Structure 1
């Protein structure tokens, strides 16, 4: 019997595939990439057509050695990493690292890890797609050139540990520009007036109508006095129902998820980060242990296509009438137009078997897995259902020369909305044209125009996709990276650029205008797509980028102003030696340091306007030196610290006044921050007690927010 080796990139995937292949195949995992550019040098020979100098990754050496021995004795080697650029590159690197001859190598690709899909892939192996590999290589080398060339410059000009990224830095630029818009925004006051009305003789709470027009002009109320004057004018008016306009509308179902849409909806509906979404989706794709063994529950989760196999559509159409009724099944299947630039070889994200209803496998899944699977299942099933039919109702109410408007919405037939709940009813009581209504009250309310909102992970994904920055498969990494580097912080679901992020972005935009240009970054993504489509040579794409980049780099080395040489002065005196304090930078952001450094190393935490944050007294005494304990604020939030710092460095988490709920512990619940800046609560006896929660136990008050 011939010896057949199968290599995939993850142990979970290996386990699931092994179930379908049986004893005729030996399935091994490479644990991801086995070769990469070494971290300690550029490793790209620019003069030799950007030739990369790949090395076996140190943590993969033993595994490669073991695989190499197995492959040597094998008759056939099946390479089964994911069906995308990264997966194709892993397959190619495995061939190179393991010295697999062409006659032995078999590339197998599939969109889902099910028995039928796996067996079909192994019956029809293909060769490695070098166009995909070259597109991945070009991206990797572009990113290395930017990171390896610019990062040392930032170290020299600002502070150690900083880095730049070809795509990540552009994403930060979007956040910085939005932050500047918000800071420059000047709110304008305006007022609304709402009338609460009901039919005469009725006893209900009535309905609301908003003041809309006077004669034919829209009413604009600029201040409280104007609002009060209008209320006085309107309170004695008769309120007569004018025109009632009703309109039937259809709301068509949305297509099944692409990667970016899944990330957006998981953020909105489940409060998942993009990283969490992709991690859980990977688990569902690679296989979950069910009653009958491991099974992949969704199709491949990195896709920009709306395509769905005919078999999957047929299965979905079989399910709908029995579960919801004949009226929910359209006469013909719903098909969705291909998106511009989408890879049609892939399918949209869908359940591998629509008959596996989320509730039926809940016991086998983690909470995250179940919630994400249900989101994907509902979206896919809804995509093959009838439109929702609803009626909008617009009612105009005349009050002298003024007009009010009330709006309502009633669902006529739910269609796909029975699953998606995307349409909410807005009931209005049944009133007749010419009917006089009773005024219950007039409610004026003050408002201010608002600046554009800060980006959330969901809205950042949306704008990245719209502008063509990166690709859906990279969004999770982009958003995680810009937070890990300290350029962006997540606060209450919104993304805030840090002062460090703003400083670095300003310098990069000034000295590397092309690299930080949104349109140019989008253009480079299109060029990489053309490499994958065999329409462009990857070396030519690199050359197009590198020539102007090298010129910008040369200018930046000479012209970029150093924050180290010219630290910003302040009128604050050093608490240790009396010298003036100056603003300095670290990876954590701005701080106040003594101008006599390195002779004096005194530092202070810094707040807005380059002023030290005032420490709050607590009445608590330091158990180490007896000095008063104060509340300070740092990058990770507020904490208790000894006022004798730096002589005494005692510090601890902020108490909440709540005892740990774990029986027999006796510790205090304290406020902590994760590395991502998210507030949570833990026990003061950690690590002896591992109690954690994102909400304070009920009946208690949280520590004051920072």
Structure 2
């Protein structure tokens, strides 16, 4: 329910961006100087005695006329106004605001943020991290105020404690805010080894301390400058911090950074200003930005959708299920996500309405409070939902496809450079392209002149994607080798060179999760093909530390220790300090309950049956056969050990344990055929 509405937000934002048409406009700024030669910048706000609106200077010609009007007139300071202002600290963190701020300041995803917060909570450093509350326990407030006075002085402590209350209508304030358990424990004193935990604790500690500090006092100055005839006018603004207050510790991040305003030089009414430079500047309106995890969580909070404590799982799930991908920290809908959303909006619209979801949250709150019967809520929901399902069963698939095809047309069939019909089949030149479904599931674009014309391509409007199913798309050359992007059984991949008698298996690398084929270029492909990437020798033992991408995602490796990385991009940028931190944290956590280690190398079969493998261990690599584990000597590298060496180690280990398993195996060879029909338990039956 909530995931569908969340996905709708992302899809509709993408449709807004695609429908957007940029509009040109111009602005004029002037570098001026006061009587003492101190320079400052002012923006033109009046022309011809009228206030300039955003699009009044719509062309370069209009901007040049404005520049000429300024150049030909003497300018004077008409008024100077200074106003005092205050900035108050922000409330302490709850789950959603912690996720938003970690995303803005560190680029951390919601899942990554919650994982680090979970470990801080388990270590006893912070309070419970899944909370909608922003109130703070009285003893914690008192401790924070004492710490502020001790560190910064009494001027930074307000006369009375600051009290915060959550204004979100769907908040369930069962827990207090996210705060340090000990206000005196600053980030430096804890010495946290893991980078994510260290950054997050620093953020939480500073925000908590700042929320109980004195407000910052500012002075905002506005100077109006113009000509005596009133035909042109400019405005200069500046801001000065008189007392930093809570800003000494913490300043909240912003999704869209504003220009910094500095101090204006001293200006007096009637004072003449010199013109140092007058510059016209061209601008274009920008489409609405794609959501980041932070701005999506903020929007869900505004609409009353979901619970602040569950936002992380919602945003993560729609990515893991392939409805959305993240590129440069922005959320972009996949074709699968678009199809699902358009279908639901057109045939189950009521359940994707933002107010319906928010209203249902309130009903569930009433059930939780005991003021509403849960059976009545479920019955009312199911009655209407069941009727909607019954209606869709009568729909023909062709009708549904036509509707989705119509709504997604701007995305599926983007305008052609030559101005031709984007739906005209590029192969036969007669048929029209439309949305079709495959027998194996999924959807694609095909020609309606089938079977005479068999043209098909993926849903994405990029014609280049159709190349992937054949010889692939040539991305370029590296060291004389062609680098291709191709589509395989298990998804898109990159390949160096072609298959030949000399190179029957050319190097290949699958595209990591979240990497879109249409965003691939030569540099990215070469980086993938060069993995695993050597980082350098470990400072403790000199053994090589590497970064790569495996079946379980991005990792760093040292000897037999593998440690996961939160983001794929970190594989290409991680340095030795960060790698050592991640590896140390992995060793400290241990392998985890129920975790099954993956073999480093499979050497072959034992004479008595069963696989002989090189395994990673807590105290170093070892060889394993059946129930016999033999440690590898320190001078033998896991990659270099042979089957013969492993059999000797296993025999020696078995002899020391008195099992005699390996030593007696030749004598038991005649009995081996009895175990042949039962291939799987063969190793067990030979042990008696």
Q: TM-score range by the shorter chain?
A: 0.5 to 0.7
Residue 373 of structure 2 corresponds to 537
Q: Out of 169, 187, 194, which is 2:22 matched to?
A: 187
**SS state at 2:397 partner:** coil
Q: 1:622 to 1:167 in 2, by over 3 A?
A: farther
**SS state at 1:227 partner:** helix
Q: 1:639 aligned to 2:471?
A: no
1:369 deviation in Å?
A: 0.7
Q: Out of 193, 196, 212, which is 2:31 matched to?
A: 196
For residues 351 and 562 of structure 2, what CA distance do their matches in structure 1 show?
49
For residues 28 and 170 of structure 2, what CA distance do their matches in structure 1 show?
48
Cα contact 2:87–2:215 (8 A) shared by 1: yes
Residue 163 of structure 2 corresponds to 335
Cα contact 2:99–2:113 (8 A) shared by 1: yes
Q: Out of 458, 461, 469, which is 1:608 matched to?
A: 461
Total equivalences in the alignment: 504
- CA distances 1:681-704 after superposition (whole Å, capped 9, x unpaired): 999xx9999998638679xxxxxx
For residues 672 and 595 of structure 1, what CA distance do their matches in structure 2 show?
42
Q: 1:504 aligned to 2:352?
A: no
For residues 384 and 511 of structure 1, what CA distance do their matches in structure 2 show?
50
Q: 1:652 aligned to 2:508?
A: yes
Residue 212 of structure 1 corresponds to 45
For residues 355 and 170 of structure 1, what CA distance do their matches in structure 2 show?
42
- CA distances 1:59-89 after superposition (whole Å, capped 9, x unpaired): xxxxxxxxxxxxxxxxxxxxxxxxxxxxxxx
Q: 1:548 to 1:328 in 2, by over 3 A?
A: same
Cα contact 2:126–2:178 (8 A) shared by 1: yes
1:670 deviation in Å?
A: 11
**SS state at 1:359 partner:** helix
Cα contact 1:622–1:629 (8 A) shared by 2: no
1:444 deviation in Å?
A: 0.9
- Superposed CA RMSD in Å reads 4.3
For residues 687 and 675 of structure 1, what CA distance do their matches in structure 2 show?
14
**SS state at 2:249 partner:** helix
1:367 deviation in Å?
A: 1.0
**SS state at 1:480 partner:** helix
For residues 406 and 616 of structure 1, what CA distance do their matches in structure 2 show?
53
Cα contact 1:470–1:522 (8 A) shared by 2: yes
Q: 1:430 aligned to 2:266?
A: yes
1:583-598 alignment, distance < 5 Å? 591=444
1:39-118 alignment, distance < 5 Å? none
Q: 1:631 to 1:338 in 2, by over 3 A?
A: closer
Q: 1:618 aligned to 2:476?
A: yes
**SS state at 2:158 partner:** coil
1:232 deviation in Å?
A: 2.2
For residues 356 and 498 of structure 1, what CA distance do their matches in structure 2 show?
44
1:467 deviation in Å?
A: 0.9
Q: Out of 343, 348, 351, which is 2:180 matched to?
A: 351
**SS state at 2:203 partner:** helix
1:661 deviation in Å?
A: 5.3
For residues 682 and 572 of structure 1, what CA distance do their matches in structure 2 show?
46
Q: 1:658 to 1:300 in 2, by over 3 A?
A: closer
**SS state at 1:515 partner:** helix
Question: TM-score if structure 2 supplies the norm length?
Answer: 0.65
Residue 145 of structure 2 corresponds to 317
1:443 deviation in Å?
A: 1.2
For residues 327 and 551 of structure 2, what CA distance do their matches in structure 1 show?
12
Q: 1:385 aligned to 2:213?
A: yes
For residues 255 and 305 of structure 1, what CA distance do their matches in structure 2 show?
10
Residue 664 of structure 2 corresponds to none
Cα contact 2:534–2:547 (8 A) shared by 1: no
For residues 629 and 186 of structure 1, what CA distance do their matches in structure 2 show?
36
1:574-585 alignment, distance < 5 Å? none
For residues 381 and 26 of structure 2, what CA distance do their matches in structure 1 show?
53
Cα contact 1:636–1:675 (8 A) shared by 2: no
1:407 deviation in Å?
A: 0.9
Question: TM-score if structure 1 supplies the norm length?
Answer: 0.63
**SS state at 2:238 partner:** strand
1:682-701 alignment, distance < 5 Å? 694=570
- CA distances 1:525-574 after superposition (whole Å, capped 9, x unpaired): 11111111111122221111111000111111221635998898973559
For residues 522 and 193 of structure 1, what CA distance do their matches in structure 2 show?
45
Residue 412 of structure 2 corresponds to none
Cα contact 1:613–1:632 (8 A) shared by 2: no
**SS state at 1:559 partner:** coil
- CA distances 1:293-314 after superposition (whole Å, capped 9, x unpaired): xxx1111112212221111111
Residue 110 of structure 1 corresponds to none
- CA distances 1:221-252 after superposition (whole Å, capped 9, x unpaired): 00111112221222232221121110001111
What 5-or-longer segments of structure 2 have no aligned partner? Answer: 254-259, 406-422, 468-472, 510-524, 575-688
For residues 642 and 410 of structure 1, what CA distance do their matches in structure 2 show?
61
Residue 54 of structure 1 corresponds to none
1:273 deviation in Å?
A: 0.7
Cα contact 2:131–2:174 (8 A) shared by 1: no
1:582 deviation in Å?
A: 7.6
